[in-house]
C-alpha cells in the first residue's frame, strides 16, 4: 500500500473519532437545551400546579388533592371583581403605552444614521435602570409633598397639595405605563425598522399621499409589532405587585397583591398557587392569542 493511502486511512480514523466526539458533544448540548428549561421553568410550574390542589388546615399544608382553592376564588367575595379590574387596568396600561409608544417608535425609526442609535440608547437606558428606583422617582413626583404638587402650589393653581395623584388605581395605571413604555416602543420600533424604505417610496411613487402611505403600507406592516408590544406590556403589568403596593395605596388593590399576600402574610401557599395558576391562564391566553393574530397575517 502506498504511503499516502495509509496516511489518509489514519486521518480517516481520526476524523471518524472526531465526528463521534462531535456527535456526543451535540447530544449533550441537545439534552442541556431541553433540560435547563424543563428543570428551571416547567418543573416548578408543574409543582406549582400540583400545590394549587392542596389545602391548608391549622397552618399546615395538607397534601391531598382538592378543588377547594378554585371554588374559593369563584365563590368568595372580592376575588373575581379584583381579578377583572386588574385585567382592565392592564389592558389600559397596554393601550396607553402603545398610544404613546407608537409615535415614539415612529420618530426613532425615521431618524437617520447615528442620531437614531443615540436616541435608542436614551430610550433603552431607563429599561436597564432599577425598577424600584423608577417607582420611587414617580412617588417623588406624584406624592403629597412631591414635585408636581410643589409646582402647582408655587404657581398658585391649587391651595393645598392634591391627594388624588397617588395611592389609587389611577396612579398604578400611570406608573405602570411609564415603567413599561420601553417594552412597547421596542417591538414597534423593530417592526418599523423592518419595512424597507423602497416599499414606502413605492407607494408615494404610485401616487399615495403621506396619509395613504401610512394607512395602507406602514400601519399594516407594523401592526404585528404593535400587538406584540401591547402583549408584552399587558403580561408584565399583570404579574406586577410591587408597583400597586408602592403607589396604589389602599384603593389600588390588584390581583398581584392578593397573590403576594397569600404567600407573604396569609401563608396560604396552595391558595396563592391557585390564584397564580388562574393568572397564568390569562397570560397564556394573551400570548397564544397574540401568536394566532400575528401568524394569521401575512409574513414579510
Partner 1 sequence: MTEQPKTLVELSGVAKVYGGVEVLHAIDLALRDGEFMTVLGPSGSGKTTVLRLIGGLVQPTRGKVLLDGRDISAMPINRRPFNTVFQDYALFPHMTVEANVGYGLKVRGESRARIRDRVIETLRLVALEEFAGRYPSQLSGGQQQRVALARAIICEPRLILLDEPLGALDAELRRQMQRFLKNLQREIRTTFLFVTHDQEEAVTMADRICVMNHGRIEQIGSPEEVYYRPVNEYVARFFGDNNLIDVALGEAGEEDRELVSDVGSFRCRLEGRSAVGAATRDSPGKLLVRPEAVVIGEAANGMRNRMKVRVEETGFVGPVSQVTVSAAAKPELRIMVKLPSRAGGIPLAVGDETEIGWSDRECHVVTA
Residues 70, 285: Cα–Cα separation, whole Å: 18
CA angle at 265 for the pair 263 and 266, rounded to the nearest 5°: 75
Q: How far is the CB of 217 from partner 1 (least distance, A)?
A: 6
- Toward partner 1, which CB reaches closer, 60 or 299? 299
Q: Are residues 82 and 254 in contact, defined by beta-carbon separation less than 8 angstroms?
A: yes
Q: How far is the CB of 114 from partner 1 (least distance, A)?
A: 13
Residues 67, 199: Cα–Cα separation, whole Å: 56
Residues 274, 51: Cα–Cα separation, whole Å: 8
Could you say which of 8, 30, 163, 212 contacts partner 1 (CB under 8 A)?
212
Residues 130, 220: Cα–Cα separation, whole Å: 35
Residues 6+ apart with CB under 8 A from 244: 172, 252, 253, 254, 256, 257
Residue 196 as a binder of partner 1 (CB under 8 A): the answer is: yes
Residue 299 as a binder of partner 1 (CB under 8 A): the answer is: yes
Q: How far is the CB of 210 from partner 1 (least distance, A)?
A: 8
Residue 296 as a binder of partner 1 (CB under 8 A): the answer is: no
Between helices 169-193 and 219-239, what is the axis angle to 10°? 140
- Toward partner 1, which CB reaches closer, 208 or 283? 208
Residue 14 as a binder of partner 1 (CB under 8 A): the answer is: no
CA angle at 271 for the pair 266 and 276, rounded to the nearest 5°: 110
Q: Are residues 80 and 73 in contact, defined by beta-carbon separation less than 8 angstroms?
A: yes
Pairing outcome for strands 60-62 and 55-57: antiparallel
Could you say which of 142, 221, 237, 274 contacts partner 1 (CB under 8 A)?
221
Residue 111 as a binder of partner 1 (CB under 8 A): the answer is: no
Could you say which of 91, 208, 287, 293 contacts partner 1 (CB under 8 A)?
208
Contact segment (CB under 8 A) with partner 1 among 53-61, 88-96, 210-218, 254-262 equals 210-218
Could you say which of 77, 207, 250, 296 contacts partner 1 (CB under 8 A)?
207
- Toward partner 1, which CB reaches closer, 155 or 206? 206
Residues forming contacts to partner 1 in the complex (CB under 8 A) are 196, 198-199, 201-209, 212, 216-217, 220-221, 297-300
Amino acid at each position: 500500500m502506498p504511503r499516502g493511502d495509509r496516511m489518509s486511512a489514519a486521518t480517516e480514523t481520526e476524523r471518524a473519532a472526531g465526528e463521534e466526539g462531535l456527535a456526543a458533544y451535540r447530544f449533550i448540548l441537545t439534552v442541556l437545551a431541553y433540560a435547563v428549561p424543563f428543570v428551571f421553568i416547567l418543573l416548578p410550574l408543574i409543582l406549582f400546579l400540583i400545590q394549587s390542589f392542596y389545602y391548608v388546615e391549622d397552618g399546615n399544608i395538607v397534601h391531598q388533592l382538592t378543588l377547594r382553592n378554585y371554588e374559593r376564588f369563584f365563590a368568595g367575595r372580592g376575588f373575581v371583581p379584583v381579578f377583572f379590574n386588574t385585567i382592565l387596568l392592564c389592558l389600559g396600561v397596554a393601550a396607553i403605552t402603545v398610544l404613546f409608544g407608537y409615535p415614539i417608535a415612529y420618530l426613532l425609526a425615521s431618524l437617520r444614521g447615528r442620531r437614531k442609535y443615540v436616541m435608542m440608547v436614551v430610550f433603552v437606558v431607563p429599561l436597564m435602570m432599577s425598577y424600584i428606583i423608577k417607582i420611587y422617582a414617580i412617588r417623588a413626583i406624584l406624592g403629597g409633598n412631591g414635585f408636581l404638587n410643589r409646582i402647582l402650589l408655587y404657581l398658585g393653581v391649587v391651595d393645598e397639595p392634591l391627594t388624588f395623584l397617588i395611592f389609587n388605581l389611577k396612579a398604578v395605571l400611570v406608573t405602570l405605563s411609564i415603567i413599561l413604555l420601553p417594552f412597547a416602543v421596542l417591538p414597534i420600533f423593530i417592526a418599523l425598522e423592518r419595512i424597507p424604505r423602497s416599499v414606502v417610496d413605492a407607494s408615494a411613487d404610485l401616487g399615495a399621499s403621506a396619509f395613504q402611505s401610512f394607512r395602507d403600507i406602514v400601519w399594516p406592516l407594523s401592526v404585528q409589532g404593535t400587538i406584540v408590544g401591547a402583549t408584552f406590556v399587558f403580561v408584565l403589568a399583570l404579574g406586577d405587585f410591587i408597583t400597586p403596593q408602592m403607589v396604589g395605596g389602599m384603593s389600588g388593590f390588584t390581583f398581584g397583591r392578593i397573590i403576594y399576600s397569600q404567600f407573604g402574610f396569609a401563608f396560604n401557599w396552595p391558595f396563592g398557587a391557585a390564584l397564580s395558576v388562574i393568572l397564568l391562564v390569562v397570560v397564556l391566553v394573551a400570548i397564544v392569542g397574540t401568536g394566532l393574530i400575528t401568524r394569521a397575517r401575512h409574513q414579510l
